[in-house]
A and B are shown apart, each in its own frame.
Chain A
Amino acid sequence: MGLADRVRPTTPVAGRLLPVPAPLVPLFPDRALRRGTTTTVAGLPGHGATTLALALLAAASQAGSWCAAVGLPDPGVVAAAELGIDLRRVVFVPHPGSGWAEAAGDLLPGVDVVLVRPPGRARQTAARHLSARARERQTALIVLVEHVNEWPEGGDLALSVGAIEWEGVGRGHGHLQGRRAEVRVSGRRSAGRGMECTLWLPDGSGVVATVTRGEDGPGGAGSGDGPEAA
């Protein structure tokens, strides 16, 4: 038995649920990220799947959970902070190369949330192994993909971004102010609801927010349900 095994902390896992920002609560059957489960976040390039996936780390990191993001090649650190991520609790492994699954596997026992973006369709063995390890270590695994079928195992919960629309930018005026996005929920643990909702991914203050009925624009700082941007 190595030193690591002898000193492995005996701290009990504190609670089965990890918080998510308020606007994302309705997407989750448990109203939070459940430890040990796999959540896929799918979306075509530019449709805001990265924003949605990063937002899932915001409340957990603020609550003191360590998180890791594997395979996001050039993470926008400022955007991450605007989304509410506590940068002191999130490590980035931007360039794991072909070792992405091994790196994610190394991190699963150490942190509460692992976000991983495989470089294309994942091998079935790698996907199965990571989901099983997440379950065993009671870590929330979030997989960022373009199409949900790139994760052969499927997730306990599958979030996918559909149609989007940018607000605030015209032909030569304004600026990118908010991305209105349709987000659909499915997967084994979603109770087959196939629920859909419309979110700002993000809004004009850089946070994820609920689009309220009849709302024309993405608003500015503090108009969303999420935490105010710094």
Chain B
Amino acid sequence: MELERLVVVWCPELQQEGPRGEEARRFVQVVARTGELCPWAHPIRLGVCALPARGPARFFGGEEMVVSRLVEVVGEDAHVGVADGLFAAVLAARARLIVPAGEVRQFLAPWSVATLARAELAVTLQRLGVTTLGQFAALPSPHVSDRFGADAAAAHLVARGESGELAGLRDRSIERRLRVARGEDPDLGSVPPPYQPGFFGGASAADTRAALSFARVQDRLGIEAVLLGRIQGGRDPGEQAALVPWGSPEAGAIPAGGAPWPGRLPLPSPTEVLRVPRRVEVVDAAGLALEVSGRGLLNGEPARLSVEGGPWQAVTAWAGPWPVTERWWSVRRRRARVQVVTDDGVARLLCAERAQWWVEALYD
């Protein structure tokens, strides 16, 4: 099925309603100005407005011209983008891009699964090693439908660039909210709060101010540059927590703290958890490489270590080993963790598999 080609205007600073309703009134102006350019412009949700691309592109002489005209009339802070289907068009607007027709799937591929605003699905996928829309799209459809259900199957179609609609993307009360903002509908009390599935964040003026600054950093460094921490339970330092893009659904669902998890290392936890563990050599007093046995025991006492070929440092204290229980989907492996303090005062969490050692985390 061919997706409708859409232009989206995204105003990051208007996506959340403050206590005075100022954002909604400003957004009414954005919709009105967009409507002067193209009568088919319609609001999607607060801060997001869409219009069909084909007519205006013919009229103004190309999609680039439509985009620049829109930026002229709405203001430089508006993000405008063009793509096939609503979902991709919103992301294109956030990135200020015109995605060529028929290239939606390629465009979506590098984005995080978090952009789908499906918290549980994203967490499950990430734990399976599926982090991008491209990887998600590559999963076979029947498998996704069986394993994750109908809503995930719909999201899968979106990731494949075969659909542009995702439940929750459109705020069904937006027209009514704008009528209230225009003063046409005085019945303010009965307007339900917008369904915010987590594409964007909170509600207060401070939140809006913060959101605007985060969007600026995302403009500068990319959408994945601004992250929120999330505790999710697990034994490994790297498993207990995740960093999820700000504005993503998991970000909306972040609990204040985590539940205790059996088998985790004792407190305190390391302040630096390396995404890419560093190789380290660990030897005993005789200079022999230390190994972890099949029963998870060490064959000696650590006396010195060298990180990634760096200078040798004396080990002043150490604790462990704690055997590592493997995750269910991986091959059974025997590993062990050891906490090691060196004479410079640095405390590290090491992980060993036979004679191979890694620095997993640091306590700074």
Q: Interface on A for B, CB 8 Å cutoff?
A: 2-4, 6-9, 11, 43-51, 54, 64-66, 68, 72-82, 86-88, 90-97, 99, 102-103, 106-111, 164, 166, 169-179, 202-206, 221, 229-230
Contact = CB atoms under 8 A, between A and B. Distances in A.
Given A45-B362, A78-B240, A203-B268, 19 more contacts: A3-B14, A3-B75, A4-B212, A7-B208, A9-B206, A44-B344, A45-B344, A45-B346, A50-B272, A73-B272, A76-B269, A77-B241, A78-B273, A80-B271, A82-B267, A87-B257, A175-B266, A175-B339, A176-B268
6 contacts: A93-B221, A93-B225, A102-B220, A171-B318, A173-B319, A176-B266
B213 A172 contact: no
B345 A47 contact: yes
B109 interface: no
Contacts of A97: 221
Interface of B: 11, 13-14, 18, 22-23, 26, 30, 74-78, 205-214, 216-217, 220-221, 225-231, 237, 240-243, 246, 254-258, 265-275, 301, 317-320, 339, 341, 344-347, 361-364
B278 to A, nearest CB: 11
A223 to B, nearest CB: 12
Contact of B273 (A76, A96, A166, A230): A76
A227 to B, nearest CB: 11
A87 B75 contact: no
Given A49-B364, A107-B217, A78 B231 contact: yes
A63 to B, nearest CB: 11
B254 A88 contact: yes
A204 B265 CA distance: 12
B268 A202 contact: yes
Contacts of B341: 166, 169, 176
Contacts of B364: 43, 45-51
Given A93-B225, A110-B210, A230-B258, A4 B240 contact: no
B265 to A, nearest CB: 7
A7 B268 contact: no
A10 B161 CA distance: 42
B144 to A, nearest CB: 29
A137 to B, nearest CB: 10
Nearest to B229: A77
A176 B212 contact: no
Given A77-B230, A91-B227, A166-B347, A206 B269 contact: yes
B275 A74 contact: yes
Contact of A94 (B18, B213, B243): B243
A110 B212 contact: yes
B268 A178 contact: yes
B231 A90 contact: no
Contacts of B242: 77
A81 B210 contact: no
Given A4-B212, A9-B208, A66-B210, A77 B243 contact: yes
A3 B269 contact: no
A87 B255 CA distance: 8
Contacts of B220: 99, 102-103, 106
A11 B206 contact: yes
B268 A204 contact: yes
Nearest to B349: A176
Contact of A44 (B266, B318, B345): B345
Contact of A86 (B209, B256, B270, B344): B256
A127 B208 CA distance: 27
Contacts of B344: 44-46
Given A47-B364, A87-B231, A102-B220, A76 B271 contact: yes
Given A75-B229, A87-B254, A106 B213 contact: yes
Contacts of B229: 75, 77, 80-81, 87, 90, 92
A81 B271 contact: no
Contacts of B339: 169, 175-176
Contact of B213 (A2, A64, A110): A110
Contact of A170 (B74, B228, B246, B317): B317
B206 A75 contact: no
A59 B227 CA distance: 20
Contacts of B213: 68, 106-111
B205 A77 contact: no
Contacts of A202: 268
B97 to A, nearest CB: 20
Given A7-B22, A66-B210, A77 B231 contact: yes
Contacts of B30: 3
Given A47-B364, A106-B213, A3 B26 contact: yes
